[in-house]
Chains A and B, each alone.
Chain A
Amino acid sequence: MQITANLANAGTSAVPMERTRRSTLVVEKTTNTSEHRNQEHMESTSRPLADAHPKIVIQDMNFFYGKVQALTKVNMPIPANQVTAFIGPSGCGKSTLLRCLNRLNDLVDGARIEGKILLEGNDIYDPGVDVTDLRTRVGMVFQKVNPFPKSIWQNVAYGPQLQNVKKRGTLDELVEKSLQGAGLWEEVKDRLHGSALGLSGGQQQRLCIARALAVNPDVLLMDEPCSALDPISTGRIEELLYTLKERLTVVIVTHNMQQAARVSDLTGFFLLGELIEYDDTKTIFTNPSDRRTEDYITGRFG
């Protein structure tokens, strides 16, 4: 819990200090968790923060919309094959952070980023990075359900077609695999060439997930994917997350704290553009180390 506190304080402390501290902490952390793992008799999920090679590492990130600073000194490792949830009140910057991970914020006029985001050790904001290539590795599912006004098949095949997959057979296979991956295949296999807009809201969102899976990403970003869905559709997407994380790393932004508690392995709590606390989901929800986290979770503010 020391770790979390330090991470949380990182934003306010002086930069060099914080850097050195963190590097020592990482070592500490590793040893720490290997003990844990033994103690807890092989829980299916390992202690996430202990991952020696996190999928994504966010380092000293500041983000500005014009003159307004939206994110301040964010530092967080995001481990592979885990579900990481970002929670926090509206406007706290969690969606902004998520959209930085596939550089979708590049489109916003006046957006500016400082610091680094490493994907498997490489800075995704390096000038040499091919943004379209990055986005095929880091897929995204949006809050507003957005299947293209095309057929179901065309929606899923869209990504692979962009990468010049032209063979009908290969595309058919990919479409089937992706739809199965999103748990939608059984429902739509007979009407693949019908309009995607004829599906229900929940089905449309799973179609968006299938569409993202079709380009075979390493990371899947989900921006409040269930906010417009009914509880049953939400349940199906949450179930999906359990299976998805075997294949890829999931980062999910949610307003629904029960959802964060149910689906995620790690949770980061944001407030006013700062990462207040970042830890095991269980810890965050049962024993948060920061007062503000506790207040938010128990509904005392926000």
Chain B
Amino acid sequence: MGKFSLKKFLDSGSLFIWLCGGALGLSLLMIGGLLVLIMINGMGYFWPKDLMQLHLQDGSTVLGEWVATETIPDSESSAKPQGRERIQLKVGNRDLYGLDFRWVDRADIVKEQYPSDVVVFERREWGRFFGWIKQIQEGERSLASGNAEGMTVLFPLLERTNGIQERIDAIEKEEIAELNYRLEQARLRLRSLELSSQSRISERGEIEAQVQELESRYAVQNAALIALYDEMKRFRITVVDVAGEAQTFQVGTLINAWLPNSLGVGEKLLMYVQNFWEVLSEEPREANTEGGIFPAIFGTVMMVVIMSIAVVPFGVLAALYLKEYATQGVMTRMIRIAVNNLAGVPSIVFGVFGLGFFIYAVGGTLDQLFFAEALPNPTFGTGGIFWASLTLALMTVPVVIVATEEGLSAVPREYREGSLALGATKLESLWRVVLPCAMPGILTGLILAVSRATGEVAPLMLTGVVKLAPSLPVDGFFPFLHLDRKFMHLGFHIFDVGFQSPNVEAAKPMVYVTTFILVLVVLMLNMAAIALRTRMRKRYAGSSV
């Protein structure tokens, strides 16, 4: 061995390998860290937590879920170098305290307890209540008093009130929604009769008769609804918090109740799964900070599906022309550069374009031509899932074009020639041999497009996303698919819940859950496309894409 030579060492490449490996490792670490953070915070939300009762030095008691422990800032002194710790508790009972959270100085704590009979009440309004049952009444008659007796009475009662609530929901969301829809249709038909010059008296009378019939049906449904609400009002529950303050509300406002400190692991697991399912399947409550996110999941998936249906044929046709038919030269090179640049345009610019072109120009014209009777209320002249999907399709079309072109280039020339030599025309060769072989490449483009579109929020805010959509874009009324409707989206939901809600601290777990589910949705959409691609690759094993 001679003496150490720096050049020789550098040229040997081992340093370079470490550099490359390090770069890759760092990226993986960051991505992994992000996913783990989201997962821990998101998945933890569903686990039923114990309720902690703290007796403080001033004689008061606090009851709540442990959230975090931290060192009080600037509390270090020479006597106590570590500083003092404090505990953050979620105390709930928003209607009583006004705040969901409370900090407790660890030094003030005299005693820490986990009372086994404390109850968590999940409510439709005001968040959770932590406390004990004092009394349950039907009208003036007492059904139960005290916590133990109360719990035995509460569960059958909850089943009953939840049943009534379901019926109320059914009437409101189906029967009355249908009547409203039909009344609106009738109103629009009357309006379009007014707009058309010839007055057809008979038709007018017919519609008016129909309106009367609908209104009488409406009255019937409304009466049923009032009766149900009255039944709900009969059952009342009085609860007390840890300080002994009482609060009375209808049993109907409760969704569920449980004894967190006496749940076994099995019961907790069951609740975990139930909570998870609730978030996936329910509609949001309390300004999106509680309840589920089903409409947002549905809106996201539907938007991506509509976008894919729009972007794939469009991008593939454009790429086919650019690659297979156009004479290659300066012009095609310039178009390629333009397409690549389009992929780099900030998404908000596409949002503005979507608003100006799709919504105002195209949608406005459509409204004037086909939905004149609804004006001045816009139908397509306002943001909606269709325009949002088209805007995203426009944003992702360059990705599909580039990927398709690459897929087409990767099809061996021999396949084309082989096909042509058998008497196929160029179109037949493209359609029957080249395109199937380029399919994996096209699907790669779709995967990239889907990944980008699912997480995109900025353009949606201009083109049709809302924080709470009254109805899904798909329902039971003709034409079933309502492309003009506004929709909810997971990405926007994160923004809205995390940064626009009145109670940001309480909404934090919801932000993590929504993020986690958004990542899951992206993953699942991608997995679907990847599975499709793998099948294609197996079938066209010869292609090198």
Residues of A within 8 A of B (CB): 102, 104, 107, 109, 132-133, 135-136, 139-140, 142, 144, 146-149, 158-159, 162-163, 195, 197, 208, 211-212, 215
**CB-contacts of B502-545 with A (<8 A):** 539-543
Across the A-B interface, give the 10 residue pairs with the lowest CB-CB distance, nearest first: A146-B414, A136-B423, A149-B540, A149-B542, A140-B421, A159-B422, A146-B418, A135-B423, A132-B423, A144-B414
Q: B420 touches which one: A135, A211, A215 (CB < 8 A)?
A: A135
Find out whether the CB atom of B421 lies under 8 angstroms from the CB atom of A139: yes
Docked Cα-Cα span, A135 to B542, in Å, equals 25
Chain B binding surface SS class:
helix
Give me 20 other A-B pairs in contact (C-beta within 8 A), A104-B420, A135-B422, A211-B418 excluded.
Answer: A104-B417, A109-B328, A135-B421, A136-B422, A139-B421, A140-B421, A142-B417, A142-B421, A147-B542, A148-B415, A148-B542, A149-B539, A149-B540, A149-B543, A158-B419, A158-B432, A159-B423, A162-B428, A195-B539, A215-B422
Interface residue count for B (Cβ, 8 Å)? 24
Docked Cα-Cα span, A122 to B539, in Å, equals 42
Residues of B within 8 A of A (CB): 328, 412, 414-425, 428, 432-433, 436-437, 539-543
Q: Take A162-B424, A197-B542, A215-B423 as given contacts and tell me if A149 and B418 are in contact as well, using a CB distance cutoff of 8 Å.
A: no
Shortest C-beta distance, B485 to chain A (Å), equals 43
What is the number of contacts between chain A and chain B, taking CB atoms within 8 Å?
69
Find out whether the CB atom of A146 lies under 8 angstroms from the CB atom of B423: no
In the bound complex, residues from chain A placing their C-beta under 8 Å from that of B424 are: 132, 158, 162
In the bound complex, residues from chain B placing their C-beta under 8 Å from that of A102 are: 421
Find out whether the CB atom of B423 lies under 8 angstroms from the CB atom of A148: no
In the bound complex, residues from chain A placing their C-beta under 8 Å from that of B328 are: 109
Docked Cα-Cα span, A258 to B414, in Å, equals 27
Find out whether the CB atom of B422 lies under 8 angstroms from the CB atom of A149: no
In the bound complex, residues from chain A placing their C-beta under 8 Å from that of B420 are: 104, 107, 135
Docked Cα-Cα span, A146 to B418, in Å, equals 7
In the bound complex, residues from chain A placing their C-beta under 8 Å from that of B419 are: 148, 158
Shortest C-beta distance, B337 to chain A (Å), equals 21
Q: Take A142-B418, A144-B414 as given contacts and tell me if A149 and B423 are in contact as well, using a CB distance cutoff of 8 Å.
A: no
Docked Cα-Cα span, A12 to B417, in Å, equals 34
Shortest C-beta distance, A21 to chain B (Å), equals 36
Find out whether the CB atom of A162 lies under 8 angstroms from the CB atom of B540: no
Shortest C-beta distance, A155 to chain B (Å), equals 9
Docked Cα-Cα span, A195 to B414, in Å, equals 18
Find out whether the CB atom of B425 lies under 8 angstroms from the CB atom of A132: yes
Docked Cα-Cα span, A211 to B428, in Å, equals 16
Docked Cα-Cα span, A89 to B437, in Å, equals 34
Shortest C-beta distance, A108 to chain B (Å), equals 11
Q: Take A149-B541, A149-B542, A149-B543 as given contacts and tell me if A158 and B422 are in contact as well, using a CB distance cutoff of 8 Å.
A: yes
Find out whether the CB atom of B423 lies under 8 angstroms from the CB atom of A162: yes
